[in-house]
């Protein structure tokens, strides 16, 4: 069988999926839950509660702050302690809502039963209604980027959606949250996919899974056949060869439907694809069929030195410390705490950072894994060029960013960089390529934005 | 002999024609250049360093003359020549002295390693911009000096350095030309161009932390907590507290140093004052310090003297 993958670049880091077969546990409720107001791409949410207000599980505590934004819902019941600042995943203190937890009292509108609700039994679900419910439930991309889901389902008039691709690749080492979700909630995910297809008015769906998850491929293929055979939808489970960064949406589109997304500002829907994470599909199911807004997620807590790494169903706002303690506490010695996996994750300076909508993993690297090696001079081996999944020249971009030649950086398409880190991973001289490129990319994007506003 | 004669005539004729053509061209296509540009250029140092932000001294001279025509030399400063050169230029152009008050770069952060303990280790690219973009830095303060020296790289005059003991950027006043390159380079806007002050004496809030008092105090023992004591104490209304951080307007400050005395965290610094006057002997002691009010109550500001 010819197993597909994306065509340009890519690397294969060590998997370290320590928690593959660890069944998901429900994490304990925190004593105090912290809700950052910017958990998504776009404008921060605006608080709609005040100090002293009583909230239930599922109460909206902040409304969307603009078109590209998402509301935030309380994951706990209790009293609003204060609206203040706290360190979030950016490393800086940002506005947050802090809630003191009292009991576990849910909003009555949420359906807490385990009954699987089928789309056929709900004729009221028009595409518009589905998109609206997704929007009002605060669903955002659960793979880490946190782009509001409803916007992806309503593409600009210049583009036409042809298919929905479910991103079940989980190419990042260590993380297993999506795999566990697939093994434990396959039916819900498929209904979520059906809702996404209906919402986007398409009839083709794909589920891309890497071959290191054979059980998930088998399970979903079987369930797909049961569910979609004879229906108006064509859904195919696509096994993909293991290759990082296959979970990047542009790479996934290339791997699954063999189409290249052009350089920014083009997005996957310009070639007809809407890419959604499995976690998002599950959240869509819960939001639409169970009227449950997004306040819980699957998160992996992992690390080689961690005593009992595991997968958790965790209420958002839970400090990472609670989860790390549930896994046996922080290992001794120097550790690096990451929100996300080792490739794309963001290093944090505090264990009090809460789990947010996009926190798919808490990874703890210890000892040598946590350190970088001393950078050496570039030997012009061009390994980074072969590894770059976007077809860029990382060594060049890093250098022109270092010397602040922004015009040249723009010409060399620095804004196409997806910051996957493949170049830095593969560099035999351990050069800080991505650090430099990131600097250049953000500066060039600033210049482009300034130019656009001037016009 | 004919050869010589004809050669002289022919060459002479060519020369004459060429001279006429050149003369006509030079009149016809003459570009008028303001003679002042040349004069200003003479006054500039001729280093062509670009420190002023223009491509060389010629560009600067052009900009100065244009500035004079539009009525202001605001924002134009030759960092190499400094105030002397600028005064000469202003005289020549018949303008008021453009940047009359000499300025100096001031690093507004007190957070030495001692007062602002490290809570993490940063392993990435060691530039302030990179560190600022990816996290709050190695300490708990998200506003203070990162100590990677982007300002050092930006300075063309070797006037700013990272002190290895304190981990903070320090300005060498004798070399600083107030060109503002470090101000632009600092991703956290810590460095400010402030009036140099008489004999280099100045008072400033050496902190830009906008967190609430309790939070900033936890991160750094000498941070501004925004208590507002200085604001109340200042007799000249020079101090404002905004976003939990105090700021002294150097145009209004009269260097009385009352704020330095009341500041509970010693976030306000006074530099280049004669070593803190011991318990003021009223009147006589006040005599040599002319700007200081009759009884300057100045407490010891331990460990804060800066090298002149």
Domain count, chain B: 3
Give the closest-approach CA distance of A331 to chain B in angstroms.
16
Helix axes A177-184, A186-199, angle to 10 degrees: 100
Q: Determine whether the interchain pair A438/B136 forms a contact, defined as Cβ–Cβ distance below 8 Å.
A: no
Chain B partners within 8 Å of A350 (Cβ): 119
Q: Determine whether the interchain pair B125/A92 forms a contact, defined as Cβ–Cβ distance below 8 Å.
A: no
Chain A partners within 8 Å of B148 (Cβ): none
Chain A partners within 8 Å of B119 (Cβ): 349-350
B134 touches chain A (CB under 8 A): yes
Banded pLDDT at A383 (limits 50, 70, 90): very high
Window A:398-437, CB contacts with B under 8 Å: 432, 435-436
Residue B239 falls inside a structural domain? yes
Q: Determine whether the interchain pair B129/A349 forms a contact, defined as Cβ–Cβ distance below 8 Å.
A: no
Rounded Cα distance between B305 and B278, Å, is 15
Tracing tokens 């709609």 back to the chain, one arrives at: A48
**pLDDT of res. B293:** 41
Q: Is A149 exposed, middle or buried (0-12, 13-18, 19+ CB in 10 A)?
A: buried
Q: Determine whether the interchain pair B136/A371 forms a contact, defined as Cβ–Cβ distance below 8 Å.
A: no
Q: Determine whether the interchain pair B133/A432 forms a contact, defined as Cβ–Cβ distance below 8 Å.
A: no
**Which residue among B121, B135, B211 sits closest to A91, beta carbon to beta carbon?**
B135
Read off φ and ψ for residue B168, nearest 5 degrees. Answer: -115, 160
Q: Is A212 helix (H, G, I), strand (E, B) or coil?
A: coil
Q: Determine whether the interchain pair B212/A85 forms a contact, defined as Cβ–Cβ distance below 8 Å.
A: yes
Q: What is the dihedral of CA A382, A387, A392, A397, to 10 degrees?
A: -60
Among the candidates B169, B196, B223, a domain finishes at B196
Q: What is the CA radius of gyration of chain B?
A: 28
Q: Determine whether the interchain pair A435/B215 forms a contact, defined as Cβ–Cβ distance below 8 Å.
A: no
**pLDDT of res. A416:** 94
**Which residue among B120, B130, B135 sits closest to A435, beta carbon to beta carbon?**
B130
Chain A partners within 8 Å of B120 (Cβ): 349
Do B170 and B208 fall within a single domain?
no
Rounded Cα distance between B162 and B146, Å, is 10
Q: How many CB atoms lie within 10 A of CB B67?
A: 18
**Which residue among A349, A432, A439 sits closest to B133, beta carbon to beta carbon?**
A439
Q: Determine whether the interchain pair B136/A442 forms a contact, defined as Cβ–Cβ distance below 8 Å.
A: no
Rounded Cα distance between B217 and B263, Å, is 13
**pLDDT of res. B96:** 66
Chain B partners within 8 Å of A335 (Cβ): none
Best interface-test mutation with A: which of B122, B142, B216 has the largest number of A CBs within 10 A?
A: B142
A92 touches chain B (CB under 8 A): yes
**Which residue among A84, A93, A438 sits closest to B133, beta carbon to beta carbon?**
A438
Query: By C-alpha distance, which of A353, A327, A290, A284 is closest to A57?
Result: A290
Do B243 and B292 fall within a single domain?
yes
> In this structure, what CATH number is given to the domain that contains residue B118?
3.30.70.20
Rounded Cα distance between B160 and B25, Å, is 52
**pLDDT of res. B97:** 59
Among the candidates B133, B162, B196, a domain finishes at B196
Do B158 and B226 fall within a single domain?
no
Give the closest-approach CA distance of A406 to chain B in angstroms.
15
Rounded Cα distance between B41 and A292, Å, is 73
Q: Determine whether the interchain pair A349/B125 forms a contact, defined as Cβ–Cβ distance below 8 Å.
A: no
Tens digit of pLDDT for each residue in B115-167?
998 888 888 888 999 999 888 888 888 999 999 999 999 888 889 999 998 88
**pLDDT of res. A90:** 86
Q: Determine whether the interchain pair B125/A435 forms a contact, defined as Cβ–Cβ distance below 8 Å.
A: yes
Average pLDDT, chain A: 92
Q: What is the CA radius of gyration of chain A?
A: 22
Chain A partners within 8 Å of B136 (Cβ): 87, 91-93, 349
pTM of the predicted protein model? 0.82
Residues written for chain A: 455
Burial A78-107 (b: 16+ CB within 10 A, else e): bebbebebbbbbbbbbbbbbbbebeeeeeb
Residue A157 corresponds to which tokens in the numbers above?
């008039």
Give the closest-approach CA distance of A88 to chain B in angstroms.
10
Average pLDDT score over residue span A276-284:
95
Do B175 and B111 fall within a single domain?
yes
Q: How many CB atoms lie within 10 A of CB B140?
A: 23
DSSP chain B: -HHHHHHHHHHHHHHHHHHHHHHHHHHHTPPP--HHHHHHHHHS------TTSSSHHHHHHHHHHHHHHHT--TT---TTTHHHHHHHHHHHHT---TT-S-EEEEE-----TTTS-B-S---S--SHHHHHHHSS-SBS-SSS---S-HHHHH-SSS-EEE-TTT-SEEE-TTT-----HHHHH-TT--EEEEE--GGG-EEEE-----S-HHHHHHH-TTS-----HHHHH-TTS-EEEETTEEEE-TTT-----HHHHH-TT--EEEESSSS---S--TTTTTTT-SSS-SS------TT-----
Query: Where would I find the beta strands (DSSP E) of A186-341?
Result: 204-210, 234-240, 273-277, 296-302, 310-315, 335-339
A91 pLDDT higher than 50: yes
Query: By C-alpha distance, which of B106, B44, B178, B137 is closest to A349?
Result: B137
Query: By C-alpha distance, which of A233, A64, A59 is closest to A132?
Result: A64
Q: Which domain holds residue B47?
A: 35-93
**pLDDT of res. B177:** 81
Best interface-test mutation with A: which of B125, B150, B243 has the largest number of A CBs within 10 A?
A: B125
> In this structure, what CATH number is given to the domain that contains residue B66?
1.10.15
B214 touches chain A (CB under 8 A): no
Chain A partners within 8 Å of B121 (Cβ): 334
Query: By C-alpha distance, which of A196, A64, A190, A67 is closest to A131?
Result: A196
* CA dist list (Å): A355 to A260, A294, B275: 34, 13, 52
A438 touches chain B (CB under 8 A): yes
Nearest CA in chain B to A424: B124
B187 touches chain A (CB under 8 A): no
A215 pLDDT higher than 90: yes
Chain B partners within 8 Å of A439 (Cβ): 125, 127, 129-130, 133
A347 touches chain B (CB under 8 A): yes
Q: Is A68 helix (H, G, I), strand (E, B) or coil?
A: coil
**Which residue among B120, B125, B129 sits closest to A349, beta carbon to beta carbon?**
B120
Residues linked to residue A60 through DSSP beta bridges, in sequence order: A73
Query: By C-alpha distance, which of A293, A278, A351, A367 is closest to A318?
Result: A351
In sequence order, which residues have a C-beta less than 8 Å from that of residue A173 and are 6 or more positions away?
Answer: A13, A14, A15, A16, A17, A244, A341, A342, A343
pLDDT in tens, chain B (308 residues): 788 999 999 999 999 999 999 999 999 988 888 888 888 888 888 878 777 778 888 888 888 888 888 877 777 778 777 777 888 888 888 876 555 577 889 999 988 888 998 888 888 888 999 999 888 888 888 999 999 999 999 888 889 999 998 889 999 988 888 878 899 899 999 999 898 888 888 899 999 999 998 889 989 999 999 999 999 989 999 999 999 999 999 888 988 888 999 999 989 988 888 866 443 334 443 444 444 444 444 444 433 333 33
**pLDDT of res. B279:** 39
Rounded Cα distance between B27 and B73, Å, is 33
In sequence order, which residues have a C-beta less than 8 Å from that of residue A336 and are 6 or more positions away?
Answer: A347, A364, A365, A366, A369, A370
A185 pLDDT higher than 50: yes
Do B180 and B158 fall within a single domain?
yes
Do B236 and B300 fall within a single domain?
yes
> Among A86-90, A311-315, B95-99, where is mean pLDDT lowest?
B95-99
Q: Is A142 exposed, middle or buried (0-12, 13-18, 19+ CB in 10 A)?
A: buried
Read off φ and ψ for residue A288, nearest 5 degrees. Answer: -85, -45
A187 pLDDT higher than 70: yes
Average pLDDT score over residue span A283-291:
94
Among the candidates B46, B67, B93, a domain finishes at B93
What CATH number is given for A119-289 in this structure? 3.40.50.11540
A93 touches chain B (CB under 8 A): yes
Residue A162 corresponds to which tokens in the numbers above?
């042809």
Residue B109 corresponds to which tokens in the numbers above?
């952060």
Average pLDDT score over residue span A252-280:
92
Q: Is A124 exposed, middle or buried (0-12, 13-18, 19+ CB in 10 A)?
A: exposed
Nearest CA in chain B to A437: B130
Nearest CA in chain B to A438: B130
Window A:57-86, CB contacts with B under 8 Å: 84-85
Nearest CA in chain A to B138: A349
Do B83 and B152 fall within a single domain?
no
Better-predicted residue by pLDDT, A413 or B175 = A413
Chain A partners within 8 Å of B138 (Cβ): 349
Residues linked to residue B106 through DSSP beta bridges, in sequence order: B192
Q: Is A72 helix (H, G, I), strand (E, B) or coil?
A: strand
Residues written for chain B: 308
Average pLDDT score over residue span A211-240:
92
Domain limits, CATH 3.40.50.11540, in chain A? 119-289
Q: Determine whether the interchain pair B135/A348 forms a contact, defined as Cβ–Cβ distance below 8 Å.
A: yes
Give the closest-approach CA distance of B160 to chain A in angstroms.
20
């Amino acid at each position: 069988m010819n197993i597909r993958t994306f065509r340009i670049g890519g690397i294969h880091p060590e998997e370290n999926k320590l928690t593959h077969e660890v069944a998901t546990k429900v994490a304990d409720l925190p004593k105090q839950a912290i809700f950052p107001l910017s958990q998504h791409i776009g404008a921060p949410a605006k608080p709609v509660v005040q100090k002293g207000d009583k909230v239930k599980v599922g109460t909206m505590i902040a409304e969307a702050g603009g078109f590209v934004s998402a509301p935030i819902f309380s994951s706990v019941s209790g009293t609003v302690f204060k609206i203040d600042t706290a360190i979030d995943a950016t490393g800086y203190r940002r506005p947050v809502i802090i809630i003191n937890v009292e009991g576990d009292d849910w909003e009555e509108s949420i359906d807490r039963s385990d009954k699987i609700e089928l789309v056929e039994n709900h004729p009221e679900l028009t595409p518009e209604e589905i998109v609206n419910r997704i929007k009002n439930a605060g669903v955002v991309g659960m793979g880490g980027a946190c782009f509001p889901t409803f916007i992806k389902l309503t593409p600009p008039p210049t583009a036409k959606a042809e298919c929905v691709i479910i991103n079940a690749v989980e190419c990042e080492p260590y993380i297993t949250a999506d795999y566990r979700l697939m093994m434990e909630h396959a039916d819900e995910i498929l209904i979520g996919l059906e809702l996404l297809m209906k919402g986007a008015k398409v009839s083709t769906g794909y589920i891309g899974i890497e071959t290191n998850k054979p059980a998930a491929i088998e399970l979903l293929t079987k369930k797909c056949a049961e569910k979609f055979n004879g229906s108006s939808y064509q859904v195919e489970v696509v096994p993909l060869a293991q290759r990082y960064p296959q979970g990047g949406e542009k790479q996934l589109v290339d791997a699954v439907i063999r189409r290249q997304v052009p350089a920014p500002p083009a997005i996957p829907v310009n070639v007809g694809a809407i890419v959604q994470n499995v976690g998002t599909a599950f959240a869509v199911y819960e939001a639409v069929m169970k009227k449950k807004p997004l306040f819980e997620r699957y998160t992996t807590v992992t690390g080689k030195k961690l005593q009992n790494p595991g997968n958790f169903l965790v209420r958002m706002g839970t400090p990472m410390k609670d989860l790390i303690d549930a896994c046996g506490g922080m290992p001794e010695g120097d550790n690096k705490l990451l929100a996300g996996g080792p490739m794309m994750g963001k290093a944090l300076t505090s264990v009090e950072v809460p789990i947010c909508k996009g926190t798919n993993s808490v990874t703890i690297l210890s000892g040598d894994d946590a350190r970088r090696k001393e950078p050496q001079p570039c030997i012009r081996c061009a390994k980074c060029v072969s590894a770059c999944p976007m077809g860029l020249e990382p060594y060049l971009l890093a250098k022109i960013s270092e010397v602040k030649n922004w015009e040249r950086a723009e010409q060399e398409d620095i804004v196409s960089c997806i910051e996957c880190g493949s170049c830095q991973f593969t560099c035999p001289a351990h050069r800080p390529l991505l650090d430099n490129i990131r600097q250049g990319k953000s500066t060039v994007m600033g210049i482009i934005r300034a130019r656009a506003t001037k016009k | 002999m004919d050869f010589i004669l004809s050669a002289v005539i022919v060459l002479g004729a060519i020369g004459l024609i060429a001279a006429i053509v050149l003369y006509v061209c030079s009149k016809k296509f003459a570009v008028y250049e303001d003679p002042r540009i040349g004069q200003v250029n003479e006054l500039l140092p001729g280093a062509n360093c670009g420190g002023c932000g223009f491509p060389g001294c010629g560009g600067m001279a052009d900009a100065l003359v244009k500035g004079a025509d539009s009525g202001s030399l605001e924002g134009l400063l030759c960092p190499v020549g400094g105030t002397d050169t600028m005064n000469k230029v202003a005289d020549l152009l018949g303008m008021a002295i453009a940047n009359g008050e000499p300025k100096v770069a001031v690093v507004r952060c007190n957070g030495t390693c001692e007062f602002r303990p490290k809570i993490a280790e940063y392993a990435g690219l060691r530039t302030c911009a990179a560190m600022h973009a990816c996290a709050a830095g190695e300490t708990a303060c998200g506003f203070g000096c990162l100590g990677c020296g982007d300002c050092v790289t930006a300075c063309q005059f070797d006037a700013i350095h990272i002190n290895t003991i304190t981990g903070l950027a320090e300005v060498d006043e004798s070399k600083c030309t107030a060109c503002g390159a470090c101000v632009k380079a600092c991703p956290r806007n810590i460095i400010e161009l402030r009036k140099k002050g008489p004999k280099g004496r100045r008072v400033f809030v050496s902190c830009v932390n906008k967190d609430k008092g309790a939070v900033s105090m936890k991160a750094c023992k000498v941070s501004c907590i925004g208590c507002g004591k200085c604001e109340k104490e200042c007799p000249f209304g020079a101090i404002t507290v905004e976003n939990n951080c105090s700021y002294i307007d150097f145009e209004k400050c009269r260097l009385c140093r009352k704020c330095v005395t009341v500041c509970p965290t010693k976030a306000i610094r006074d530099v280049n004052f004669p070593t803190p006057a011991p318990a003021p002997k009223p009147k006589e002691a006040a005599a040599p310090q002319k700007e200081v009010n009759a009884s300057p109550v100045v407490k010891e500001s331990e460990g804060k003297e800066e090298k002149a």
